[in-house]
Amino acid sequence: MIEIDAHVDLSHPPDRVWLALTDRELIGRWFAEADMVEGVPDRLLLHTAGLPGFDANVEVEVIERQVPELLELRCDEAGRLTELTCVVTPTTQGCRLGVREVPTHGSWSAEQHGPREQQLRQALTVRLPAILDWLAFQQVDLRRGEAGMTAELPLIGGVGAARARRRRRTVVTALVGVVLVAGLVAWMTLPGGSKQAAAPVSSSPTATSEPSAATATSTAPPKATSSARPSRTAASPTTSPSRTPTAKPSRTPTAAPPPPPLTARYDTDSSRLFGYTGEVVVNNPGRAPANQWSVVVTLAEGSSVDEVEGAEWRQDDRAITFSGPAVPAGGSRTIRFDVRDGRPKAREPVGCTVDGNPCAGL
């Protein structure tokens, strides 16, 4: 019996290798393009026709899977049947992947076996590690944190200190200008008597040309019947009406309006081979952090959750309840979860709510 047996040591965790083995789009990147077979669960069509050692496309059906350790497939290549077994074993550096293909009906020719085995080994030792490195890069979190970067860079050295001193001088100058303007406004709004006392005495040409008349006028006592304009200094204080202080109406404290409710949007990534990845983005439009929140996703019949990122979770029958850290004001929090589902259709959840309100996207 002719069989193909290959092993490769990978510097990646078993979960990442399992994803590369079961994600339909990733399989197309390191081995061959894959399509779902309509109406048949857990079955794929690999476009291997034209590859070295392959005569036609291969139809693949899942026999057994144990995440992320074991995957057994039944392969049909134009009537030639084989069983393909993938075993993932953890190691100190990552994991070891073993692939073994054994014919069960029909056989390869000697001319097919060599190119077929070489094609599989090249995919496992060259293209698969490259895809795993790309996945590792995609999973690195390059964000600095939810607080974000500062809006102003720190001042460094003498140049920064000089700029700080110029900024302080500008502020002091502005404050002095404000004080002078306020004093001028206050002087202009004083009563008329104060303006008269502070105003300078005008020197007219008549007063300087006839000094004797000016002296007589200043020394003569005022007449009772004089029609001269009365002096402002002798005006009665009743000319400026007094202001009676009125009590200001008391302000009744009003209750603060309730914060706007959280919103959420659900999205499905159905590119996986044996299920799908769900994503819920929770948004907080309010001005304060939302400390308590919950998202409830109701799965379809026959679905189960494998892994969750971004939140704590618990399962009650088909209802999955997510909760976690506070959602920052004006920010969001993303929840991703892997769902195992062997059916090719109706994979999306049947319901999604955030604090009892329906999510968008479903």
DSSP H/E element including 185:
helix 157-188
Q: How far apart are CA 30 and CA 202, in angstroms?
A: 101
Residue 235 vs residue 248, higher pLDDT: 248
Q: What is the pLDDT of residue 169?
A: 59
pLDDT-based confidence at 24, cuts 50/70/90?
confident
Residue 7 vs residue 247, higher pLDDT: 7
* Cα–Cα–Cα angle for 279, 282, 287, rounded to 5 degrees: 160
Helix, strand, or coil (residue 161): helix
Helix, strand, or coil (residue 328): coil
Residue 17 has pLDDT above 70, yes or no: yes
Q: What is the pLDDT of residue 362?
A: 82
Nearest one of 49, 50, 46, 70 to 60, comparing CA atoms: 46
Q: How far apart are CA 174 and CA 164, in angstroms?
A: 15
Q: What is the pLDDT of residue 343?
A: 63
Fold of 263-358: Immunoglobulin-like (2.60.40)
Q: How far apart are CA 185 and CA 308, in angstroms?
A: 67
Q: What is the pLDDT of residue 241?
A: 55
Percent of the chain with pLDDT over 90: 35
Over the stretch 193-241, which tens digit does the pLDDT of each residue have? 444 444 444 444 444 444 443 343 444 444 444 444 544 544 444 445 5
Ranking 4-18, 273-287, 300-314, 338-352 by mean pLDDT, the lowest is 338-352
Nearest one of 267, 296, 262 to 279, comparing CA atoms: 267
In this structure, are strands 312-316 and 275-283 parallel, antiparallel, or unpaired? unpaired
Helix, strand, or coil (residue 269): strand
Residue 179 has pLDDT above 70, yes or no: no
In this structure, are strands 275-283 and 263-269 parallel, antiparallel, or unpaired? antiparallel
Q: What is the 3-state secondary structure (H, E, C) of 102-156?
A: EEEECCCCHHHHHHHHHHHHHHHHHHHHHHHHHHHHHHCCCCCCCCCCCCCCCCC
For the ranges 158-172, 191-205, 324-338, the one whose mean pLDDT is highest: 324-338
- The mean pLDDT value for 270-284 works out to 81
Radius of gyration of the CA atoms of the chain, in A = 43
Instruction: Tell me how long the chain is.
Output: 362
* Cα–Cα–Cα angle for 109, 115, 117, rounded to 5 degrees: 90
Q: Where are the domains of the chain?
A: 4-138, 263-358
Question: What are the angstrom distances between the C-alpha of 115 and each of 24, 54, 111?
Answer: 24, 9, 7
Architecture of the domain whose range is 4-138 = 2-Layer Sandwich (3.30)
Question: What are the angstrom distances between the C-alpha of 305 and each of 50, 51, 97, 313?
Answer: 38, 36, 25, 10
DSSP H/E element including 335:
strand 332-340
The amino acid present at 155, given as its one-letter code, is L
- The mean pLDDT value for 177-198 works out to 51
Over the stretch 55-103, which tens digit does the pLDDT of each residue have? 899 999 998 999 999 999 999 998 889 999 999 999 999 999 999 999 9
Residue 240: phi and psi, rounded to 5, are: -105, 110
For the ranges 151-155, 205-209, 228-232, 311-315, the one whose mean pLDDT is highest: 311-315
Q: What is the pLDDT of residue 4?
A: 85
